[in-house]
């Protein structure tokens, strides 16, 4: 198959740094540790250090780069231990290179502890784009807690290939993607638009255009070269979400199942109009804004993954 040379199964790059944390928890002398190279531009937060000092023994061990003794995850915990007069701290070693160490530092500061600021996450995305240029925008977004569109704006130039979230290598050249879609549909005409789109790394609408040209006996790859840039699609009006939710609540297949009722409760909890959210955002206390923003990003990403999962589930009825 023409796609065989393009789809190469790799170790998931998102989990690679985690797999390089090895060995048991050890006790390290704090004086030997180096606390620098953090993705946090403003340095340590004194209030956060004080908070950690109150429950230091209940916190997980820090992560240290074995080769340089640099603290990758846990700089605030180190300072908290020092404030208590301690000379040693529990740690685990990381055995990767500097690039993977930075990815782990960013991911750790995004997923737990004191969240990174938006500026720090954008700066981290730029650094990761330089060290891992083959990673897709979506993958870097997952690491940095940004949206894929924000990562795309940080990307200076696109490489010839990228690694997607599934660990597969795909070309970024649009003509090559169309060629892959064409070959897939020639080999198996029963494939759905979404199946071809996921395999070729393009949108279902692009696959539809390729298939239409194939049915006409035209070469979708050759014609794609001469096509002008399409006009922007006018913005569609937002659906009437209260009416949509009302229809879902009255659907017996949803309201009379445990999972369906749980889904309705979640959707009700998130049914807030943009105007209301704007008002809430303006009144969030300044000292809570970064934390709440990070929580909102995590919730949005969870719903996005849920939507992608729904699109992957085959329709059986």
In this prediction, residue 1 has a pLDDT band, given cuts at 50, 70 and 90, of very low
Has residue 227 got a pLDDT over 50? no
Q: Tell me what the mean pLDDT of segment 181-194 comes to.
A: 81
Say if residue 190 is in the same domain as residue 247: no
Query: Nearest to residue 62, comparing CAs of 99, 35, 38, 89?
Result: 89
Across 12-16, 24-28, 62-66, least confident range: 12-16
Does residue 10 lie in a domain region?
no
Same-domain pairing of 116 and 20: yes
If asked whether residues 23 and 124 sit together in one domain, one would say: yes
Q: Would you say residue 139 lies in a domain?
A: no
pLDDT band at residue 228 using 50, 70 and 90 as cut-offs: very low
CATH of the domain at 102: 3.90.1530.10
Closest by CA position to 277, among listed 288, 292, 265, 263:
292
pLDDT at 44: 86
Residues 262, 293 within the same domain: no
Q: Does some domain include residue 297?
A: yes
Output the pLDDT for position 29. 94
Residue 146 resides in a domain: no
What percent of the chain has pLDDT above 70? 76
Residue with tokens 């298939």: 211
Nearest Cα to Cα of residue 106 among 125, 79, 130, 80: 125
Residue with tokens 């790799």: 10
Same domain, 186 and 78: no
Q: Is the pLDDT of residue 92 over 80?
A: yes
Judge if 126 and 25 occupy the same domain. Answer: yes
291 and 253 part of one domain = no
**Domain presence at residue 233:** no
74 shares its domain with 101:
yes
CA distance 156 to 231: 24
Residue 66 and residue 121 in one domain: yes
Domain around 182 = 173-222
Top mean pLDDT of 72-86, 160-174, 236-250, 257-271 is at: 72-86
Same domain, 259 and 246: yes
Mean pLDDT lowest for which of 84-98, 161-175, 208-222, 266-280? 161-175
Answer yes or no: do 245 and 304 share one domain: no
Residue 2: inside a domain: no
* 154 in a structural domain: no
Looking at 76, 99, 132, the residue that finishes a domain is 132
Residue 8 belongs to a domain: no
Residues 35, 113 within the same domain: yes
For the chain, how many structural domains are there in total? 4
DSSP 232-269: PPPPPPPP-HHHHHHHHHT-HHHHTSHHHHHHHHHHHH
| CA distance linking residue 62 with residue 136, whole number of Å | 29
H or E stretch at 295: helix 289-312
Look at residues 89, 124, 119, 122 and name the one whose alpha carbon lies nearest to residue 104. 124
Is there a contact between 138 and 164 (Cβ–Cβ < 8 Å)?
yes
Q: How far is CA 273 from CA 119, 239, 241, 266, 281, in A?
A: 27, 12, 9, 15, 12
């Amino acid at each position: 198959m023409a796609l065989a040379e393009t789809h190469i199964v790799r170790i998931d790059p998102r989990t690679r740094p985690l797999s390089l944390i090895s060995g048991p928890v050890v006790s390290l002398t704090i004086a030997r540790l180096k606390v620098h190279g953090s993705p946090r531009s403003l340095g340590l937060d004194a209030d956060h250090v004080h908070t950690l000092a109150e429950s230091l023994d209940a916190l997980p061990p820090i992560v240290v780069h074995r080769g340089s003794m640099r603290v990758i995850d846990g700089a605030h915990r180190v300072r908290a231990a020092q404030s208590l007069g301690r000379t040693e701290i529990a740690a685990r070693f990381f055995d990767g290179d500097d690039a993977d160490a930075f990815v782990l530092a960013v991911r750790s500061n995004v997923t737990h502890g004191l969240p990174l600021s938006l500026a720090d996450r954008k700066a981290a995305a730029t650094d990761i784009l330089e060290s891992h240029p083959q990673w897709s925008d979506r993958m870097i977004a997952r690491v940095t807690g940004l949206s894929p569109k924000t990562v795309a704006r940080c990307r200076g130039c696109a490489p010839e290939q990228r690694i997607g979230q599934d660990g597969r290598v795909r070309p970024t050249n649009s003509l090559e993607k169309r060629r892959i879609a064409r070959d897939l549909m020639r080999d198996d005409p029963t494939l759905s638009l979404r199946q071809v789109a996921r395999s070729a790394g393009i949108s279902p609408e692009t696959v539809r255009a390729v298939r239409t040209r194939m049915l006409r006996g035209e070469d979708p790859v050759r014609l794609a070269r001469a096509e002008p840039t399409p006009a922007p699609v006018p913005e569609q009006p937002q659906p009437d979400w209260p009416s949509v939710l009302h229809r879902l609540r009255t659907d017996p297949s949803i309201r009379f199942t445990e999972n369906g009722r749980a889904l309705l409760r979640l959707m009700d909890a998130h049914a807030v109009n943009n105007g209301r959210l704007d008002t809430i955002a303006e009144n969030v206390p300044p000292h809570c804004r970064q934390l709440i923003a990070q929580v909102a990003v995590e919730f949005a990403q969870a719903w996005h993954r849920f939507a992608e999962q729904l699109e992957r589930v085959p329709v059986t009825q």
